[in-house]
Amino acid sequence: MSEYKRFEVAHQADVTVLRLVDAELSDLVLQDAAHDELMSLVEEDKPSKLLIDFSAVQYCTTGIINSLLTTKKRIVSGGGVFKLCGLTKHVHDAFLALNLENTVFDVYKTQAEALAAFDK
């Protein structure tokens, strides 16, 4: 498995948990790096269940949301499940404004809630 700079990867049972580490995902270079690392993880590890934890992120742009859409599409097209958790207030407000929460993305308050939802 590769080393990643934009996130930490852990495994909880059969779920790959990706925890973003940058507080702000607004810089274009940073967005591109995060996207490239995310695509690398999806291609190399081929997770069937992926949870992305946003608890460290205070701000993100639509570029990161586009990366999430691409990631979800790849995971789901392979028969997998994709969920998000830990959206901080600003990020959560953006998801609500774009009508993405529980329409496009399954969003949970905590990692524990999201992990439990994979078993349903």
- Computed from CA positions of residues 46, 98, 20, 12, in that sequence, does the dihedral angle turn out positive or negative? negative
Whether the predicted pLDDT of 1 surpasses 50: no
Q: For residue 88, with 0-12 CB atoms within 10 Å meaning exposed, 13-18 middle and 19 or more buried, which class applies?
A: middle
Indicate the angle between helix axes 62-77 and 28-45, nearest 10 degrees.
10
pLDDT in the model for residue 56: 94
Query: Closest Cα partner for 110 from 42, 19, 23?
Result: 19
Q: What is the mean pLDDT of the chain?
A: 92
pLDDT in tens, 17-70: 999 998 887 777 778 888 999 999 999 999 999 999 999 999 888 888 999 999
Residues 6 or more apart in contact with residue 3 via CB below 8 angstroms: none
Domains and CATH numbers, the chain: 7-110 (3.30.750.24)
pTM of the entire predicted model: 0.92
pLDDT in the model for residue 41: 94
pLDDT in the model for residue 62: 86
Whether the predicted pLDDT of 101 surpasses 90: yes
